[in-house]
Amino acid sequence: MKDFARFKQLEDLDSESKYLVHKAKEATVTAYAPYSKFHVGAAALLEDGTLVTGSNQENASYPLCLCAERIVLHTCATQHPGKAVKKLAVVAHRKNHKELTMATPCGACRQVMLETEVRQGGPMEIVMLGPAHQWTVCPSAESLLPLAFTPNHLHE
């Protein structure tokens, strides 16, 4: 976690990160979260400036739920093949609350984020509201998932 940059306020982030955070927050409007009441939005900025957003989609059969991060990354891969994800922002709030709350990607999302980095041959920055209500900028998904399982493990 030493490579992570931490900021006390959103205003302290660079303009690109602030823009992505605002777009991710806008994406929470489309969240379908009747069970957790936890609305998550994600926004990805591709290397060519394209913006892709998504939100969490829940299901009564919980294992079938989809996180905002995975929706965004898979949309990027299918709708914009060959374009690298430069930066990803993730935000969340509780239903009927405007204030954002801590939202760090789950393990499954971290694995998909890492696979995205492998596919594109380079890292993406991740912006999120982390512990102690501080904005956290991670240099890569790999930094979020130490000792990760990668495609290389399949060929050892």
Mind listing the domains of the chain with CATH numbers? Answer: 5-155 (3.40.140.10)
Per-residue pLDDT of the chain (156 residues; tens, 9 = 90+): 458 899 999 999 999 999 999 999 999 999 999 999 999 999 999 999 999 999 999 999 999 999 999 999 999 999 999 999 999 999 999 998 889 999 999 999 999 999 999 999 999 999 999 888 899 999 999 999 988 888 888 887
pTM recorded for the entire structure:
0.93
Cβ density class 48-83: b for 16+ within 10 Å, e for less: eeeebbbbbbbeeeeeebbbbbbbbbeebbeebeeb
Out of 16, 47, 58, 69, the active site residue is: 69
The reply to whether 47 belongs to the active site is no
